[in-house]
Amino acid sequence: MEDQKPIIMDFGAKIAMQNCGDLGIPEITEKDEKASVRYHENSIDSLSGNPVKMNEFATGSHDKTVMIWDMNKMDKPLKTLKGHGEGVWNVNYTQDGKKLSTASPEGVAKIWDISSGKSV
């Protein structure tokens, strides 16, 4: 695997801003790096922070999967959600933090129950 630029995380305010439509990428520097996400088999196209569990976030990838992560245990994802026929370009948590909405260019949007890992 070639050297990849890691996803840089400072979960606090920077990831929470994504839910407001502004990830603040220009403000993130390498000193903010907390963890590298390297489990996806292709590019990560979307990211969303759980508004209730501040240590949890989700990544959507061009590899057609969504991965749920715990910032305190970054050795592997908590869950991998599969079911899209094309890359996942949008991921958002519901306000209660129990479900995710995802969308892909195949024209499909899904709602996922995080605890079961199933599309509802």
Domain extents in the chain: 11-119
Cα separations in angstroms, 90 against 12, 32, 63, 65, 110 = 21, 24, 13, 11, 10
Q: Is residue 32's pLDDT more than 70?
A: no
CA dist 71 and 106 (Å) reads 30
Q: First vs last Cα of the chain: how many Å apart?
A: 35
pLDDT score, position 102? 94
More confident residue, 60 or 8: 60
CA dist 22 and 4 (Å) reads 24
pLDDT band for 83, please (50, 70, 90 cuts): confident
pLDDT score, position 92? 94
Q: Is residue 10's pLDDT more than 90?
A: no
pLDDT score, position 8? 47
CA dist 50 and 48 (Å) reads 7
pLDDT score, position 95? 94
What fold, for 11-119? Answer: Methylamine Dehydrogenase; Chain H (2.130.10)
**Alpha-carbon torsion (58, 60, 64, 69), positive or negative:** negative
